[in-house]
Structure 1
Amino acid sequence: MKILLINNGKGWSGGQEHLKDLAMELRKNGVEVHFLVREDTVNETRFAELGFTVHLMPYKYGWNSAKAFFRLVATLRRERFDIVSINREHDLALTVLAYRCAFPFASPGRLMMSYHLPTDHYQLFLSAVDAIVCISEHVQTKLLRILPAMADRTSILYYGIALPPPPDVTKFSSDRPRRYLKGRPFPVIGMVGEFWKNQIELVEMLPQLKQAFPEITVAFVGNNADRNLVDPLEFRARELGVEDNVVFTGLVPREKIQDVFYDLDLSVTTHRNEGFGIVHLESLAAGTPVVAYNEGGFVDLFKGEDVGVLIENGMTDFAAAIVSLLKDDTHRYAMGVKGFELVQRRYSTQAMGRSYLNFYKQLLEN
């Protein structure tokens, strides 16, 4: 089986990590995986360093749009992939048109679209693909609201992550030394992700949290280079008098992210429209329970599982749930153990690879 994964993004984030892990698992199962990425980006370098064949696309602007189109047509005709998988909405129209131009009469394989983000936008060319993969029920539900006729071509396949070792016994001790957030006393909670994900609500909760735990630390983990997003959070923390309880870590190297989750007593997200959220898998795998609103793709993780708390209402209830869990060591530690077991059982990269491979085989058979 020969597959082309298309992602014309300029940066490296959770979506690229997912494609990397998926491609490596598929390769272990004998699949020949190629990538089509934007030239002169980190994606070109990273995927090539991992030993994958990388085809390059110029940034689609002006004359480059035509150049990208004809280059893609030539690549499709030359390689004749069994599966061509589009992984960004922005690449849908160009890929569909190029695919139909390359194979106007009989296709050598199947064309599919993977949706990683919830969307309310009507996609004109989506009906031209043979199958759609959504990464959560949340993403699928939003998509089918605008394109209900695509229901029979839509499936859900979940992310997976490389499993770390089981949580160390020291993880379940409130006075453990912190590995990354050194010197911070109990409790330490954190939100991992880009700074457009509604972090302001967590800042607003801090006075309520501080009443219960005066030394509480809230760590915001992520690239804080965009001051237009970070400055309002810092300003509001100063207004509320909680600036000493807030830490902005900046971008954490991938090899250190497990140390961050080891340090956190709770992982928190106030984002309501997450497609899925690899960081939540990483948190659970580290033995750190999650507190989140009952909205978004990560809700799928919690179905029938006692690995965190989902909040139905607003910030007051959210803060109360955090306080309640921080006061209940026994329940919090039990959640941590169950979180690791859940990821081990259902969300490993091996499980993800098997799911996608079976899906590809069924798609080709049909």
Structure 2
Amino acid sequence: MRVVHVITRLIVGGAQENTLASVLGLRERHGWEVRLISGPTYGPEGSLEGVAAAVPGLLEIEPHLVRPVHPWRDGLAWVRLTRRFRELRPDLVHTHSGKAGFLGRLAAHRAGIPVIVHTIHGPSFGPFQGPLANAVFRWAERRAGRVTTHFVVVAEAMTRQYLAAGIGRPDQYSLIYSGFDLGPYLEATNDPAWRARVGLGPEDLVVGKVARLFKLKGHDDLLAVAPAVVRRCPRARFLFVGDGAWRGRLEARVRALGLAGVVRFAGLVPPESIPRWMGIMDVVVHLSRREGLPRALPQALAAGKPVLAYACDGAPEVCRPGETGILVRPGDLTGLEAGLVQLLEDASLRERLGRQGRAWVREHFDVNGMVDRLHALYVRLLGRTDAAGAMDVPEGPGTV
């Protein structure tokens, strides 16, 4: 079978890691011919382009597929994607992210591709933006939805939100959790030497957050309660793993709050080192107000760490109160402070929630299980009975 995936950019992020794991798994486990078309990747969030480019014949860069709205380049990207789909003649096109999802699905339909799949990694509309932007993005999702064969969602919350917006039918949605390689997380340890890299001691109680330093990610809320948490738990320390456009702003806020001695910025780290960073955390928080299902939450649980999250989008499906963590209403700073203090003061609670979370994640988030479920969906949509169906794909240029 010939498959083409399309994504807007390959920054270091959950949607991008999911996409790479999917295309590589389909190639390696099922022998299918899979291409990945991406727009260019740049900025402080880091890039996964090198991982994809290291696989011969996998990655193509479409230079006009860019995240900001740009009518001329968007139109050109649609034309070029349509032409490339006609050249490759895939059996199925699978799109990811907002811009690539919209242009890619319309181009695939124009090119006569028989099956068009779109993964909803996170909502394009919601309370995180204004009414005009919501109206535009709802229209775009409904328009592209009319030519979509099937939707893959990373959380049941995405199905509910999109159906409520009049996008698709219930039988067009399939839940496939965003799996990852569990092994390094299951083996993660609280390494004193790794703590020392960022000035953390063995006795510190580390509240960790793994996310881009950007709006809607919740770093401001965590910093707002940090002084009170430290007063109640003097051994509390805060560790931000990740980088982004808001780093300077957040560092200035840390200084203004007098928190320079208790907040650490690890910066952008290689994805393969995330398990080691998770290992030195005592609690992992995720306070995003726009996320399909935060990948950091199941990763933390796989490492045996309890989680605290805002009850937003798909987070409640993983952060299960009394079972894997503590759930807080978005913006409830009093609840956030109380939840952090409860976890930091109760080692037995941390151990129990982490242990139960690890068992749950092992059952639902194995990367091979994700790839196999995606494979089964493709087979069903194409009406195939064979498991591979690999075909020769004509070589294309590095950019399309």
Q: TM-score range by the shorter chain?
A: 0.7 to 0.9
1:2 alignment partner AA: R
Is it true that 1:346 corresponds to 2:355 in the alignment? no
- Per the TM alignment, residue 306 of structure 1 is displaced from its structure 2 partner at its CA by 1.4
1:125 alignment partner AA: A
- Per the TM alignment, residue 116 of structure 1 is displaced from its structure 2 partner at its CA by 0.9
Distance in 1 between residues matched to 2:21 and 2:279, nearest whole Å: 22
After superposition, what is the alpha-carbon deviation per residue over 1:278-314, rounded to whole angstroms, capped at 9, x for unaligned?
1112211111111112222122124587121112471
- Per the TM alignment, residue 85 of structure 1 is displaced from its structure 2 partner at its CA by 0.6
- Per the TM alignment, residue 201 of structure 1 is displaced from its structure 2 partner at its CA by 0.8
Moved over 6 A (4+): none
In structure 2, relative to structure 1, the CA distance for the partners of 1:4 and 1:166 (3 Å cut) is closer
Distance in 1 between residues matched to 2:189 and 2:51, nearest whole Å: 35
In structure 2, relative to structure 1, the CA distance for the partners of 1:62 and 1:299 (3 Å cut) is closer
* TM superposition score normalised by structure 1: 0.87
User: Which of 90, 110, 132 is matched with 1:101 structurally?
Assistant: 110
Distance in 1 between residues matched to 2:288 and 2:109, nearest whole Å: 38
- SS of structure 2 residue aligned to 1:125: helix
1:287 alignment partner AA: G
2:336 alignment partner AA: F
Q: Give the gaps of 5 or more residues in structure 2.
A: 126-136, 385-400
Is it true that 1:145 corresponds to 2:164 in the alignment? yes
- Corresponding residue for 2:377? 359
User: Which of 202, 218, 224 is matched with 1:204 structurally?
Assistant: 224
Equivalent residues of 1:58, 1:67 under 8 A apart? no
In structure 2, relative to structure 1, the CA distance for the partners of 1:21 and 1:289 (3 Å cut) is same
Out of 298-307 and 83-92, give the one that drifted further: 298-307
Is it true that 1:72 corresponds to 2:81 in the alignment? yes
- Corresponding residue for 1:298? 315
- Corresponding residue for 2:233? 213
Identity %: 25
Equivalent residues of 2:37, 2:60 under 8 A apart? yes
User: Which of 228, 233, 254 is matched with 2:271 structurally?
Assistant: 254
Out of 10-19 and 130-139, give the one that drifted further: 10-19
- Per the TM alignment, residue 10 of structure 1 is displaced from its structure 2 partner at its CA by 5.9
Out of 82-91 and 260-269, give the one that drifted further: 82-91
In structure 2, relative to structure 1, the CA distance for the partners of 1:96 and 1:212 (3 Å cut) is closer
In structure 2, relative to structure 1, the CA distance for the partners of 1:344 and 1:182 (3 Å cut) is farther
Equivalent residues of 1:191, 1:267 under 8 A apart? yes
- Corresponding residue for 1:5? 5
Distance in 2 between residues matched to 1:348 and 1:49, nearest whole Å: 24
- Corresponding residue for 1:82? 91
User: Which of 239, 242, 249 is matched with 1:222 structurally?
Assistant: 242
Distance in 2 between residues matched to 1:340 and 1:56, nearest whole Å: 37
In structure 2, relative to structure 1, the CA distance for the partners of 1:136 and 1:199 (3 Å cut) is same
- Corresponding residue for 2:32? 31
Is it true that 1:334 corresponds to 2:352 in the alignment? yes
- Per the TM alignment, residue 214 of structure 1 is displaced from its structure 2 partner at its CA by 1.4
1:199 alignment partner AA: H
Distance in 2 between residues matched to 1:78 and 1:176, nearest whole Å: 53
Equivalent residues of 2:157, 2:292 under 8 A apart? yes
Distance in 2 between residues matched to 1:159 and 1:84, nearest whole Å: 19
Distance in 2 between residues matched to 1:116 and 1:350, nearest whole Å: 19
Equivalent residues of 1:194, 1:222 under 8 A apart? yes
1:9 alignment partner AA: R
- Corresponding residue for 2:178? 159
Distance in 2 between residues matched to 1:321 and 1:48, nearest whole Å: 43
Length, aligned pairs only:
357
* TM superposition score normalised by structure 2: 0.80
Equivalent residues of 1:119, 1:142 under 8 A apart? no
2:242 alignment partner AA: G
After superposition, what is the alpha-carbon deviation per residue over 1:309-338, rounded to whole angstroms, capped at 9, x for unaligned?
112471112211111122221221122222
Distance in 2 between residues matched to 1:179 and 1:345, nearest whole Å: 33
Equivalent residues of 2:306, 2:357 under 8 A apart? yes
Distance in 2 between residues matched to 1:213 and 1:304, nearest whole Å: 22
- Per the TM alignment, residue 102 of structure 1 is displaced from its structure 2 partner at its CA by 2.4
Distance in 1 between residues matched to 2:168 and 2:204, nearest whole Å: 52
User: Which of 287, 293, 305 is matched with 1:270 structurally?
Assistant: 287
2:122 alignment partner AA: L
Is it true that 1:114 corresponds to 2:114 in the alignment? no
Equivalent residues of 1:273, 1:297 under 8 A apart? no
Equivalent residues of 2:7, 2:101 under 8 A apart? no
Equivalent residues of 1:179, 1:263 under 8 A apart? no
1:138 alignment partner AA: A
Q: Give the gaps of 5 or more residues in structure 1.
A: none
